[in-house]
Amino acid sequence: MSENLQSITSKLWAMANELRGNMDAGEFKNYILAFMFYRYLSDHQAQYLQSNHVLDLHDGQSLNQAYQEQAKGEDLADYLDDISSSLGYAIEPQDTWASLIEKINNSQVIPSDYQTLFDHFNKNVELNKDGAQDFRGVFNDINLGDSRLGSSTTARAKSLNNIVKLVDTIDYHNQDGRDILGEIYEYLIGQFAASAGKKGGEFYTPHQVSRILAKLVTVNRSLTEGSFSLYDPTMGSGSLLLTVRNELPGGDQTGAIKFYGQELNTTTYNLARMNLMMHGVSYINMTLHNADTLEDDWPDGPDAQGIDHPRSFDAVVANPPYSAKWDNDPRKLKDQRFQEFGKLAPASKADYAFILHSLYHLNNGGTMAIVLPHGVLFRGAAEGEIRKQLIAKNALDAVIGLPANLFYGTSIPTTILVFKKNRPSKDILFIDASQDYEKGKNQNNLSDANIDKIIDTYKARQDVEKYAHLAAIEEIEDNDFNLNIPRYVDTFEEEEAIDLDQINRLLKEDDLAIAKLEQEINEQLRMLGVEV
């Protein structure tokens, strides 16, 4: 993070903490992040109006003034249709960010005005049927009547106005013209996740872990091969999807990556939609669903809205909820995701359900990386049978052990499982990276060197003493398909041999030194007249 960006984000976080008062960080994020997104959409629309010469600007007239004067009456509908056909949404002249700031400065805004603003937005996204799914209800998590914003209408209006004014202070174009609003947004998501503790872990994968997953699924991949499809079945805030884009050579090319994802929590789903668009992802290139991944499988073909969905993807990444409960009704054995394995993950631990779902949606040339608790490596019963079949089908490519205390809300060590459908060999690479980390105050951290070591070892696919082992299928079978990493990577450190003769010599020297010191003390006491 650049010094300028660090300064902006630190200041913004401090001011946001002051504004939220007694409100929980996880809930306050719905306000500040939503208003940041609204400002982004409004500015993005202004850029469209200017660059496409939609408005006639007169001398000394601002773009917003021209929009207010020209897009009114019978002409308003034409302007909104034009904007929504290109952007997927449209903001009316009286609802733009510049208009909102002007009203706040003139003390003309009350909470109902914010509701009107969002109602207008929701109405206008329906003008573009292709974009409606991506923008519909995106601001529904802003509770304008929350008493923690203030006990009266006036107090709540003041709180909302202060949040808007804080967002307006962000100078998000740095010296080289690069738009850093997305980076600021990502920083705040991480900060809110950290403050929310366990709840934060539900929607955010720490960036260092995201980078490992992203690097694993993009090894030897680039956009020279054409478009790249990417799927996260438990996408949270969408940050993991964006990290994969950043790790893919040429990933910032417009339209080259197609983003797909599902998220059960509606608030988090809204956050993901905002996050991707704030990072320059066009609504045309993202298909995100608010759904229960295990109950509502990713659509295969056209959905109810006529949107065509691919069944499989070039890369699948996932950080699902660990050992979550799910409905493993026997009827799910008819589900194509699970039926060929003949077993379902136990009701109390959905880990293998997420694995099988993700693998089902991986194409034959792709790579899947999923992070889970260590229990998936050795638990028996149905999980043991599924694990055995995955290995027999030659789908498991690598097992990587991570350090403890990397995630928000849990201190347990985790493991990354890498899967491929067309593997040239039947060996499995084991990496024990559990001891390579930088200790932090509240959480451990992975340095660039720690991450590079994991990825370089994965690429080399060779034994590294006390760190990695390439296990043949026979070795896996001998261990009864137990994948517990210490069975394959010997990290035992022999204790240094103790020289007892040397220890005895040192003890004798200590005894002599003590006796000499006691003699000197006694002599000093006698000189003082003390009987010894």
Instruction: Print pLDDT tens along the chain (532 aa).
Output: 565 677 777 777 777 777 777 777 767 878 888 898 999 999 999 989 988 877 887 777 889 999 998 988 889 999 999 999 999 999 999 999 999 999 999 888 877 889 999 999 999 999 998 888 889 999 988 888 888 888 888 888 888 998 899 888 877 654 444 456 667 777 777 777 677 555 444 556 888 999 999 999 999 887 766 689 999 999 988 989 999 998 988 766 657 899 999 999 998 899 899 989 988 898 999 999 999 999 989 987 666 666 667 889 999 999 999 999 999 999 999 999 999 999 999 999 999 999 999 999 999 999 999 999 999 999 999 999 999 999 999 999 999 999 988 886 677 889 999 999 999 999 999 999 999 888 877 778 899 999 999 999 999 999 999 999 999 999 999 999 999 999 999 876 566 667 788 888 888 888 888 988 888 888 887 887 777 7
Long-range contacts of 520-528 (CB under 8 A, 24+ apart): none
Q: Which residues of 275-304 are buried (b: 16+ CB within 10 A; e: fewer)?
A: bbbbbebebebbbbbbbebbeebbbeeeee
Residue 76 identity (one-letter amino acid): L
CB burial of residue 503 (10 Å; 0-12, 13-18, 19+): exposed
pLDDT confidence of residue 4: 65
d(CA 497, CA 91): 75
CA distance 412 to 402: 10
Nearest residue to 275 (alpha-carbon basis) of 163, 177, 370, 187: 187
CA distance linking residue 77 with residue 530, whole number of Å: 107
CATH superfamily, domain 203-487, is Vaccinia Virus protein VP39 (3.40.50.150)
Run of H or E residues at 400: strand 396-401
What is the DSSP secondary structure assignment for residue 126, as one 8-state letter?
T
Amino acid of residue 397: D
Q: Domain spanning 3-197 has what CATH number? A: 1.20.1260.30
User: Residue 203: which of 116, 268, 287 has the closest Cα?
Assistant: 268
User: Percent helix, strand and coil across the chain, each rounded to 5?
Assistant: 50, 15, 40
Question: Kind and range of the H or E element at 527?
Answer: helix 500-527
Cβ(68)–Cβ(95) under 8 Å?
Answer: no
Reduced to 3 states (helix: H, G, I; strand: E, B; else coil), residue 71 is coil
CB atoms within 10 A of CB 231: 27
| 48 within 8 A of 211, measured Cβ to Cβ | no
Distance CA 398, CA 476 (A): 12
Q: State the pLDDT at residue 493.
A: 59
Q: What does residue 316 show for φ and ψ, rounded to 5 degrees?
A: -130, 130
468 and 431 Cβ atoms separated by less than 8 Å: yes
Which of 169, 174, 139 is closest to 274 using CA atoms?
139
The DSSP secondary structure of 344-379, one letter per residue, reads: ---TT--HHHHHHHHHHTEEEEEEEEEEEEGGGGT-
- The DSSP string of 228-242 is EEEEETT-TTSHHHH
H-state helical runs in 89-204: 97-105, 111-125, 129-135, 153-168, 181-196
DSSP H or E run through 212: helix 207-217
User: What does the alpha-carbon distance between residue 96 and residue 103 come to, in Å, rounded to a whole number?
Assistant: 11
Residue found by looking up tokens 């007239």 in the block:
61
**How remote is the C-alpha of 510 from its chain's centroid?**
59
State pTM to two decimals: 0.84
End-to-end CA distance of the chain: 70
Calpha distance 222→226 (Å, rounded): 8
What is the residue type of 387?
A: R
Residue count of the chain, please give it: 532
Sort 34 into a burial class: Cβ within 10 Å, 0-12 / 13-18 / 19+.
Answer: buried
SS3 316: strand
Q: Which amino acid is at 222?
A: S
Q: How far apart are CA 141 and CA 121, in angstroms?
A: 14
In this structure, how many other beta carbons lie within 10 angstroms of the beta carbon of residue 207?
17
What pLDDT score does 349 carry? 95
Nearest by Cα to 185 from 66, 303, 40? 40
Q: Which residue type, as a one-letter code, is found at position 314? A: D
Query: Can you state the angle between helices 181-196 and 266-278, rounded to 10 degrees?
Result: 150
What are the backbone dihedrals phi and psi of residue 318, each rounded to the nearest 5 degrees, phi first? Answer: -160, 140
